[in-house]
Chain A
């Protein structure tokens, strides 16, 4: 299983990320999102950020999770390379995501930036489970 792949899109960035579990899929989706922004090989992990999110279903939780990463990148002026994700059921009606993100503060001398991701779109956003879990995402750049 490849962790993620980028697909052809005329104007924006489209990717699919995979996982044996929904948590692994969300971790790989975060890595795909971030690789489109910054080359991960240039990032040293020396700080961690904790994320806690709640949503009614996995799709909403996935959407919030990716939006959160864009938000943290801009507001923390940090770049990220590791995404450890845990999911748990929160009562009968909602799900909770607990994650730890590893990275460092932006160093313009060292970090090589690629695309500016403006936002995660809802266009053709979706999660499927066949042999493995798969999420499809289109980023507005």
Chain B
């Protein structure tokens, strides 16, 4: 499921954090991720994978995600992504329990 998401945001631009903005994309666009990071060269791939893994686990497709990373840890990245999804109106798996 994905449904139509509202545009939503979570996180900040402070050091050690990541700001995630999420909007619904055109159908069949898949997950379009745009990542900016101060450690793009070192961890760009790992950050993308973490974000994509959260989306896939939640069954989200056809979204546009903009992420501005300031050296966030994996747990922060997951938390910010989930919060942005929640604010966008996605029904998270945990909520269904």
Q: Do A and B come from one complex?
A: no
Q: Which residues of A contact B (CB under 8 A)?
A: none
